[in-house]
Amino acid sequence: MDRLLVLVRHGQSDWNLKNLFTGWKDPDLTEKGVAEAQAAGRALKERGLTFDIAFTSALTRAQHTLKLILDGLGTPDVPTTRDLALNERDYGDLSGLNKDDARQKWGEEQVHVWRRSYDVSPPGGESLKDTVARVLPYYCQHILPAVLDGRKTIVAAHGNSLRALVMVLDGLTPETIPSMELDTGIPLVYRLRANSTVESKEVLSLR
């Protein structure tokens, strides 16, 4: 049985380009982001990968990325579940602010703590720990059972919501996960054992 799980961070969004804290705000992809998603689809197609089921967040940039990937694979009708449990981390009062402006307002060190600590949340927002607390139950209840049932699964989501999954899959700790970067549009291809542990992992390169 091929227990396939592919994770893809959405392509570059308009607010990524403008260096803004995005969180639950809903900008779409840039032209570069569209190209990244299309390249992800080509990379998956070159590996001969197709999907039986898809999951994404409630936000446009992730949904658009998934659509472009599935269109590129020639399988636009793959059953897809959209859920805010897979949304990006909520940056609260930082949402919509330029990151450099935020550093000027609160200081470099404080903004770094909000961005890179595991359990410190920005004003009105979520810590990475909070994000993990909503993503992992959804993974265990909905995504993992599909994978273990042999349904080839793709998840298109966000840097921090996917960090929560990678933390579990790769056995990372609260100390190491905040510094791990996920590049936009790069598929992570996992194959799981029957006990849900990782048998193999491949990071696909785009051309």
The burial class, CB within 10 Å (0-12 / 13-18 / 19+), for 8 is: buried
**Taking the mean position of all CA atoms in its chain, how far away is CA 148?**
20
1 Cβ neighbours under 8 A, 6+ residues apart: 150, 194
Q: Cα–Cα distance between 157 and 66 in angstroms, integer? A: 9
Residue 140: CB atoms within 10 A of its CB come to 12
Number of H helices, E strands in the chain: 8, 6
β-bridge pairing 187-192 and 4-9 = antiparallel
Q: Which of 31, 46, 64, 88 is catalytic?
A: 88
* Bridge partners, residue 201, by sequence: 190
Residue 10 is among the residues annotated as catalytic for this protein? yes
Q: Which of 10, 36, 126, 158 is catalytic?
A: 10
Residue 142 is among the residues annotated as catalytic for this protein? no
Q: Which token pair is 80?
A: 């897809």
Residues in the chain: 207
Q: Cα–Cα distance between 61 and 26 in angstroms, integer? A: 7
For the annotated catalytic residues, the residue numbers are 10, 88
